[in-house]
Structure 1
Amino acid sequence: MQLKKFPDTITIILVISLFFIALTWIIPAGEFDKAVVDGREVIVADSYKQVDPAPQGLAAFLTAPIKGFNAASFVIAFVFLVGGAFSVLTYTGAINAGLYRIITFGKKYPRYKIIILGGITALFSLAGATFGMSEEVLVFILITIPLAKAMGYDALLGTAIPVLGTGVGFAGAITNPFTIGIAQSIAQIPIFSGIEYRLIVWVILTLIACLAVVRYARRLDKNVKNSLLHDLEIKEETYEAGDFPELNTKRKLILLTFFLALALLIVGVVYFEWYINEIAGLFIGLAILSAVIFKIPINKAISVFIDGAKEMMTAALVIGLAKGLLVIAQDGKIIDTILNEVALVAGNMPKFISAELMFIFQCCLNFFIPSGSGQAALTMPIIAPLSDLIGVSRQVAVLAFQMGDGLTNMIVPTSGVTMGALSIAKIPYNKWLKWIAPVFVILFIVAMLLMLPPLLWFSW
């Protein structure tokens, strides 16, 4: 018996929209008072009150997409522009020529293929843990997928490297300003304090991620039919030596420009607080320089740019629709109620159970708010004082937040970045879920265990 085709990503998000709307009819509406602290809006502890119900209906279902597009407009524009820029870069053949050098090295020294994959995954994890790489994944996935395919693997592996890598990086955040920085400042503990134990957490979670990537790569090395994408109607591309252009002087210069742009991106994000505007401008500049070096006629360069932007249409739709889910929950005024109820339950439990409940709660809340900074601003004003009452260190409360946020971002269908990445890779959500779910379960269990040492063996 042939199974029916699994719903595509947009269908899944629309179904979740109906689920969110149903919740606004079931969960009482409530609100915390808000205050502005250091330019951020945070909630005021012990200020929860029920308000008039705000159940959402057909109008919310129909208007959530446009509201989501409005809320995610920066990210959507970023996806279009970077997609166009990479199309120009790809047209020069520089990326493929560089990939061929890596493939040749991998074939000559097969044992290093695994080291390359694990090393790149660890680099993405470090980027997530230090300067908070997130939306930038949508840039790098345009590189890791061709790299994985050229090495004889599939798009799923190419997607897992940056998505899983940055996910565990966020979970084991060391100096991530968007999660640790905001959470610790709201919790009123020294910024980036407790870095010694967080470093241990990061190493353990990153090692698991690298092993997961390597294990799947070894499965594909044994038999390409082990690919979870093998049964798709659109088969994975295969690459032969003749598919790769010559790495001539022009392409070498373009690759050098590309790597300089990546270095500039890291410096800009870490030291100059670059975000979407600056990063998009950087890649537009890279596209222009690539076109000039390769002597692409301006009309042709614009045409190639437009074609690349068109390829990002599905990803842009997914990001906007995913953001619309948060709009429904906010308009229905159910998020504060959920937060208040969990705080009441956790406050009546022993501290060991309460600490684990904090972590589980952050994982669940991320389904509604897949934004590290947003989740920190919403939860820490409540969770931090709650941790004092139950005898749990505020550092532990921050740890629960960072791991709950980071781990679930790579699996929840409400994450615009993850779903956008899957759309770019043309990977059905069920295929991704089949691969990532066992990895997530392992990471989840390990994260719960990592919550215990600060409670059992040392004061943090």
Structure 2
Amino acid sequence: MSEESVLKDTEPTKPKKKFEFPHVFAILFALIIITAVLSYVIPAGEYEREVNEAGETVVVDGTYHTVDSNPVGFLGIFEAVHKGMVEGAGIIFFIFIVGGAFGILNATKAIEAGFASISARMAGKEIYLIPVVMVLFALGGGTFGMSEETIPFILILVPLAIKMGFDSLVGAGMVIVGSCAGFTAAFMNPFTVGVAQGIAELPLFSGMGFRFIVWFIFVAISIAYVMIYANKVRKRPEISMMYQVDQQRDIDLSIQKQQQKLNLRQSLIIGALILTIIGLAIGVTFFDWYIMEIAGLFLLMGVIVGFIGKLRVNQIAEAFVKGSEDLVVGGLVVGLAYGILVVLEDSNTIDSILFFVSNLVGQLPTSFSAMGMYITQSLLNFIVPSGSGQAALTMPIMTPLADLTGVSRQTAVFAFQLGDGISNAITPTAGVLMASLAIAKIPWVKWLKWFWPLIVIHYVVGAVLVTFAHLFVW
């Protein structure tokens, strides 16, 4: 053997660099940069807007006109982050306050005891908890547009799923997939169906019968997907993409052996949580509560359960701070997601994108117009993830377009509804999704890899249902 060969053999081999999934901040900041670059390419333009009788600001069809180009400069990319944080401040502080309230709840140890009790009662039947929980979230999404309200439940259901032998994807899936399926196929969501039907001058929540059938189809498919995966990962935990991460989580899996019954104080604390959830549903449905009222409700719950749990005032304050700290990443993610929308708005390109795609739909044959609307709304949702915002932006244009192309206004609303909702479970511009994943400590890329088959199924089913509605229902 030559001396050169011996030297090669004795040289230490450099370890290969492992591929790391991009951090959610890196993904969102990259999207801000891409959007800023596109502001130099996409022509600037805008529609005129007016306030309708319902007090909603809507786009006036036929008023699109070009304006002076206002591309986002180098410094503007970084300013967009701050502007996004300011724009999303309401939701960001909602996350911090709710996180603090749940920090107090966790400090009482009542949730851990509840985990143990549920696990003991569901022994051997844990899989059936999934449809129960998902139906509840789907009902919330389908009736009062449950969205931001789901974030606190990630803190409960991710640890619960891991304790029951599943993984964090199942825990997050019960919340995100359940609420998104219900929101997408909502039968009386005032923020999507209600706003869109109001702009289209249709009776509020008309067509509910068909929409309820659609809701049932979407929710059933979603539950089946999560349950099939959960069954697989329970039998072979190592197949989970989150296996290594879940193993490192600070979750005491031995608590089931320590305590399987709730004491009186813990039962009262769990009761306070349940009353809070009921109060949330009533407030949102009947009193038009939004994030300020909901944050106040959860903070009230935190203080009450702290005293029930015999925590001192300083312990309550410290638990609140700890709970808020745990959700810092989730809160900041919302601001970065808003930064993307800030770039589109500041550069006057968001209306230009809408004008371009609406013209494409108008050129389609009548039989394909409904499908064109569905595709258009699906694409626009990656830019405008707000359901009510997208309705106010697109329905004033889609409504007369439907009249011109022979598509019923009810079908146009339905195409908006499905197109707006399906991608909410994957789009990185959706602040609620990204915050939920950050709280669950699930990288967006891994979530997408797990979730993309169901998204494809949802889009295909949605296309079939829009076509069916156009040909046979409306």
What's the TM-score bracket when you normalise by the shorter of the two chains? over 0.9
Cα distance between partner residues in 1 of 2:40 and 2:461: 36
- Cα offset, 1:243, TM superposition: 5.9
Cα distance between partner residues in 1 of 2:406 and 2:441: 47
Cα distance between partner residues in 1 of 2:196 and 2:393: 10
The percentage of aligned residue pairs carrying the same residue is 42
Q: Deviations over 1:368-421 (max 9, x none)?
A: 111001000000000111011110011111111111111111101111000000
Does the residue aligned with 1:5 lie in a helix, a strand or coil?
A: coil
Q: Is the 8 Å Cα contact of residues 149 and 238 (structure 1) preserved in structure 2?
A: no
1:195 maps to amino acid: M
Match of 2:319 in 1: 304
Structure 2 residue 280 is matched with structure 1 residue 265: yes
Q: Deviations over 1:130-171 (max 9, x none)?
A: 010000111111121122122111111111111111111111
Q: Is the 8 Å Cα contact of residues 269 and 305 (structure 2) preserved in structure 1?
A: yes
2:366 maps to amino acid: K
**What's the TM-score, normalizing by structure 1?**
0.96
Q: 2:375 aligns with which of 360, 365, 368?
A: 360
- Cα offset, 1:238, TM superposition: 6.1
Higher-Rg structure is 2
Structure 2 residue 340 is matched with structure 1 residue 325: yes
Cα distance between partner residues in 2 of 1:338 and 1:359: 16
1:428 maps to amino acid: P
For 1:151-166, list aligned pairs within 5 A.
151-166=164-179
Judged with a 3 Å threshold, the aligned counterparts in structure 2 of structure 1 residues 402 and 438 are, in CA distance, closer, same or farther, namely same
1:306 maps to amino acid: V
Match of 1:46 in 2: 62
Q: Is the 8 Å Cα contact of residues 152 and 238 (structure 1) preserved in structure 2?
A: no
Cα distance between partner residues in 2 of 1:238 and 1:384: 55
Structure 2 residue 194 is matched with structure 1 residue 178: no
Match of 2:213 in 1: 200
Q: Deviations over 1:250-275 (max 9, x none)?
A: 11111111111111111111111111
2:58 maps to amino acid: V
For 1:197-346, list aligned pairs within 5 A.
197-232=210-245, 235-236=248-249, 237=251, 239-240=253-254, 241-242=256-257, 247-346=262-361
Q: 1:76 aligns with which of 82, 92, 112?
A: 92
Match of 2:10 in 1: none
1:48 maps to amino acid: Y
2:28 maps to amino acid: I
Match of 1:101 in 2: 117
2:219 maps to amino acid: T
Match of 1:191 in 2: 204
Does the residue aligned with 1:206 lie in a helix, a strand or coil?
A: helix
- Cα offset, 1:233, TM superposition: 8.7
Judged with a 3 Å threshold, the aligned counterparts in structure 2 of structure 1 residues 233 and 199 are, in CA distance, closer, same or farther, namely closer
Q: 1:130 aligns with which of 118, 143, 155?
A: 143
Match of 2:424 in 1: 409
Judged with a 3 Å threshold, the aligned counterparts in structure 2 of structure 1 residues 17 and 243 are, in CA distance, closer, same or farther, namely farther
Structure 2 residue 436 is matched with structure 1 residue 452: no
- Cα offset, 1:232, TM superposition: 4.0
2:103 maps to amino acid: S
Does the residue aligned with 1:274 lie in a helix, a strand or coil?
A: coil
Match of 1:387 in 2: 402
Q: Is the 8 Å Cα contact of residues 370 and 412 (structure 2) preserved in structure 1?
A: yes
Match of 2:8 in 1: none
Structure 2 residue 437 is matched with structure 1 residue 422: yes
- Cα offset, 1:332, TM superposition: 1.0
Cα distance between partner residues in 1 of 2:295 and 2:268: 21
Q: 2:161 aligns with which of 148, 158, 161?
A: 148
Cα distance between partner residues in 2 of 1:427 and 1:2: 22
Cα distance between partner residues in 2 of 1:24 and 1:224: 46
Cα distance between partner residues in 1 of 2:260 and 2:470: 57
- Cα offset, 1:227, TM superposition: 1.2
Q: 2:452 aligns with which of 412, 430, 437?
A: 437
- Cα offset, 1:58, TM superposition: 1.4
Q: Deviations over 1:413-458 (max 9, x none)?
A: 1110000000001111111011111110011100000111122223
Q: Is the 8 Å Cα contact of residues 95 and 255 (structure 1) preserved in structure 2?
A: yes
Does the residue aligned with 2:70 lie in a helix, a strand or coil?
A: coil
Structure 2 residue 76 is matched with structure 1 residue 60: yes
Bigger Cα displacement from structure 2, 349-358 vs 278-287? 349-358
Cα distance between partner residues in 1 of 2:69 and 2:213: 45
Judged with a 3 Å threshold, the aligned counterparts in structure 2 of structure 1 residues 444 and 373 are, in CA distance, closer, same or farther, namely same
Cα distance between partner residues in 1 of 2:252 and 2:233: 13
- Cα offset, 1:113, TM superposition: 2.1
Unpaired stretches in structure 2, ≥5 consecutive residues: 1-15
Cα distance between partner residues in 1 of 2:427 and 2:198: 27
Judged with a 3 Å threshold, the aligned counterparts in structure 2 of structure 1 residues 355 and 238 are, in CA distance, closer, same or farther, namely farther
Q: Is the 8 Å Cα contact of residues 170 and 405 (structure 1) preserved in structure 2?
A: no
2:424 maps to amino acid: N
Cα distance between partner residues in 1 of 2:196 and 2:223: 27
- Cα offset, 1:338, TM superposition: 1.2
Match of 2:29 in 1: 14
1:382 maps to amino acid: I
